[in-house]
Amino acid sequence: MAAHAEAQQSDLLTSPARLRKIDLLRDKNIGKYLPLPQLVAVGDQSSGKSSLLESLTGIPFPRGQELCTRYATQITHRRESETYIGVTVIPGPGASETEKDELEKYHRSVSTTSELHDELPTILEEVNKLMGIRTAQNPDGTKTFSEDVLKIEKCGPNEDYLTVIDVPGIFRITTNNVTTETDKAMVRSMVQKYIRDDQTIILAVLPCVVDIATQEILALAEQYDPTGQRTLGILTKPDLVRETSGKNVVCSLVRGEKRPLNLGYHLVRSRGGDDEGSAFGDDERDVLFKDEPWCMLPPERLGVVALRQRLQHLLGDLTDRAFPKLRSETRQLLNRAQEDFAKLGQSRQTVQEQQQFLVHVASEFQQLVRAGLKADYSSSAVFDDDKFRLITSVLNATDDFKTTFTLSAHTYEFIEEDDEDDEDTADDSAVDRSNSDSDDKEILLRQYPDLDSVIVRELNSDDPIEGILDWIRGIQRHSRGTELISFNPALFSTAVKQQTSKWMAQAEFYVSRIIYIIHDFLISALETVCSARKVREELLSQILDAILARYEDGLRQTRFLVRVEREGQPYTLNDVLYSQLAESQSARAENKLKGELKSVVDSGNHMGRKYTAVSLQAVKSVLRDKDSGKYVVEDVHDLIKSYYQVARDRFIDNVYLQAITHGLISGDTSPLSLFSEQWVLSLEPERLDAIAGESFQTREQRENLTKRIEDLTEAVAILR
């Protein structure tokens, strides 16, 4: 017989270990992250809810008081070897850390229900004060209702596992100096929060003495559970129904004939205000159901004992169904929270954290710079994007500059001795210049407003002017002196200066293009190594002036090199000048002979050999046929051309090596070297915080995610 009773009791305690785990999750406030299986008693004020819970749980709520109706009360039964009743407070989801610490410190323990009956009024006063509830005993309280939860846990060797949550009763009429419209809305919102989750079984407490159709709680339950799949109607106060018609309405509800619910209705009688607690047990309460018409109803739908057993089964079955999904969803939530936390990056609240964060960002930035300058493009996937291929972009732009500069930087087109080759070269040059100009104009399509005050965005690549000999002749006429054989030295200097008049504009555009490439790389690299937009913007704001100053230094160095070439006396130590000059003069003489001696060439065959002969007199005649002015003009042309080519190649090298390589790319004054670990370590705390400090929103998000991860980690451990 005892074994049979033990087996029945075991059947009632469906998954007690799992039920305990659900309660532990509720204590940790995991319910704010995902729905937990629970039984929630809801009803209008004066629906008999408190008396019902006392009958179900054995917790003797004091009469004539509403001390525990200002917040949810969780009543838990748990089988333990030791008998005791513990009272604690579960902080609400909106509690601050300080409030949470104070609430979690509260703990009271008694040995028996009679002892709890005696001490409960005092306990409730303490809890109300702790929660800040305004009562007659605590007039300084600031709240009428609270989201904190009073937990009463009844443990003992004979307890069967059951947890029921009681929420404040809905009310329609406010009480002067007690409740307000805001309180009414808050209670309604609190009830909705508890019953909206699909893992909640709604215990809708309805007094038999009122019209069910007028009960707001049933309409509210129907809103969140339209099919009635998880709503159990509990009808109270049947002893107050006198009329037969009223009793028939109650019976039709229990039999499912009127306003049916999937879980149906259960009829109970609770202890009234005049009933003696010790003499009014379960049997005394249920005597009423031996009378008609109640005795005609199914016995499993009558009385507190049957209801308690029903609730234990409902909660156990709900927990068993929900447990696998709950465990899976908890892990998913934890993983998602950890991913969101990782996206926030390293914490940046203290000076040390800010410094460590920014040093790490600077280190990664400099790694990209080094790889970009060494063409080590296999070191990171970012180099799949051409704008990160820094040195390649610089060299390509330099090749374009060299091509454009060689073809169009001189004001007047030099005379080429080979007309046929000259024509081919001109055609090729036009194609090369067209391609180069097309590449250069890319700088006009993308804008960095910060560079507007620094770089030059227009390129003068007009074709050189024809008629260089007439131009030299004109210069000669305006600068001739009394020299008989040579020409005025000022002629050469003036001609070189005018021939290089486009150097400044083309060199400035080239360096501007390099500056743009560097700036594009710099901005893109910062975006890659630092995902926090605010940090990037503040960092760039802090170093932008220094960056622009270094860009300007690069352009200033370029302008200096142009002035050196154009404003000083033309000179070179390069022997190539003389070899090129001699070559030009030889070619000129050769072409003259080819063109003008055709009529005086004698050809024939002597002793079997063909020959071509030009008379010495004819050669002398060709060389004499040059007046002094033409001789000077051609010699000046050849000298300008030879010197220009030497100066041009020298200038291109100098601009690249000094202004670009040393000034902008890898020298000490490179703008790419500004943002470094050393720069970060030199920052004052105020500037460091301005750059790397977290915003209030980020700090709040970090704190929330930290708490979320902590809670969910505990939840995963509990659910194992």
pLDDT in tens, 298-349: 999 999 989 999 998 888 888 888 888 999 999 999 999 999 998 887 788 8
Domains of the chain: total = 4
> Taking 60 as the threshold, does the pLDDT of residue 8 lie above it?
no
pLDDT in the model for residue 574: 86
- Is 104:46 a contact under the CB 8 Å cutoff? no
Q: What is the mean pLDDT of residues 694-716?
A: 88
pLDDT in the model for residue 25: 87
Q: Could you give the CA distance from residue 333 to residue 358 in angstroms, rounded to a whole number? A: 30
Lowest mean pLDDT among 157-171, 387-401, 552-566, 704-718: 157-171
The residue ranking higher by pLDDT, 620 or 252, is 252
State whether 384 and 528 are in the same domain: yes
State whether 557 and 699 are in the same domain: no
For all residues of the chain together, what is the average pLDDT?
Answer: 83
Q: Given 137, 165, 193, which residue is the final one in a domain?
A: 165
Rounded to 5°, angle at Cα 468 from 564 and 433:
70
State whether 281 and 326 are in the same domain: no
State whether 389 and 444 are in the same domain: yes
The domain that holds 218 is classified in CATH as 3.40.50.300
State whether 449 and 334 are in the same domain: no
State whether 80 and 134 are in the same domain: yes
**Environment class of residue 65 by beta-carbon count within 10 Å: exposed (0-12), middle (13-18) or buried (19+)?**
middle
> Taking 80 as the threshold, does the pLDDT of residue 604 lie above it?
no
Residue 604 structure tokens? 């024939």
Range of the domain at 274: 38-60+167-302
Dihedral sign, Cα of residue 389, residue 391, residue 392, residue 397: positive
Identify whether 144 is part of a domain: yes
pLDDT in the model for residue 617: 65
Q: What is the mean pLDDT of residues 638-653?
A: 93
pLDDT in the model for residue 458: 79
> Taking 90 as the threshold, does the pLDDT of residue 97 lie above it?
no
Which residues, 6 or more positions from 610, have their beta carbon under 8 angstroms from its beta carbon? 603, 604
State whether 507 and 521 are in the same domain: yes
The residue ranking higher by pLDDT, 553 or 228, is 553
Identify whether 452 is part of a domain: yes
Place 1 in a pLDDT band, splitting at 50, 70 and 90: very low
pLDDT in the model for residue 423: 40
* DSSP-derived 3-state class of residue 96: coil
> Taking 50 as the threshold, does the pLDDT of residue 422 lie above it?
no
pLDDT in the model for residue 589: 66
The residue ranking higher by pLDDT, 419 or 359, is 359
**H/E element holding 703?**
helix 696-719
What is the percent of the chain where pLDDT is above 90?
37
Q: What is the mean pLDDT of residues 49-60?
A: 85
Q: Could you give the CA distance from residue 483 to residue 254 in angstroms, rounded to a whole number? A: 133
State whether 139 and 177 are in the same domain: no
State whether 471 and 529 are in the same domain: yes
Q: Could you give the CA distance from residue 526 to residue 113 in angstroms, rounded to a whole number? A: 67
Identify whether 584 is part of a domain: no
pLDDT in tens, 340-357: 998 887 788 899 999 999
- Is 201:77 a contact under the CB 8 Å cutoff? no
CA distances from 435 to 335, 401, 429, 446, 537 (A): 53, 11, 10, 19, 36
Residue 354 structure tokens? 């800010």
pLDDT in the model for residue 424: 41
> Taking 80 as the threshold, does the pLDDT of residue 610 lie above it?
no
pTM summary value: 0.61
**H/E element holding 606?**
strand 601-606
Identify whether 599 is part of a domain: no
Identify whether 576 is part of a domain: no
Q: Could you give the CA distance from residue 21 to residue 719 in angstroms, rounded to a whole number? A: 7
Longest dimension (CA), the chain: 158
pLDDT in the model for residue 651: 96
Nearest alpha carbon to residue 207 among 262, 169, 162: 169
State whether 119 and 45 are in the same domain: no
Nearest alpha carbon to residue 264 among 272, 253, 274: 253
Residue 370 structure tokens? 């080094």
State whether 253 and 265 are in the same domain: yes
**H/E element holding 612?**
strand 609-614
SS (H, E, C) 180-193: CHHHHHHHHHHHHH
Place 613 in a pLDDT band, splitting at 50, 70 and 90: low
State whether 503 and 531 are in the same domain: yes
Q: Given 103, 137, 165, which residue is the final one in a domain?
A: 165
pLDDT in the model for residue 278: 45
Q: What is the mean pLDDT of residues 657-685?
A: 94
Identify whether 23 is part of a domain: no
Identify whether 260 is part of a domain: yes
Q: What are the backbone angles phi and psi of residue 669, rounded to the nearest 5°?
A: -95, 10
Q: Given 249, 284, 302, which residue is the final one in a domain?
A: 302
Which residues, 6 or more positions from 495, have their beta carbon under 8 angstroms from its beta carbon? 472, 475, 636, 640
Identify whether 120 is part of a domain: yes
pLDDT in the model for residue 347: 84
DSSP string, 540-597: HHHHHHHHHHHHHHHHHHHHHHHHHHHHS------THHHHHHHHHHHHHHHHHHHHHS
pLDDT in the model for residue 691: 92
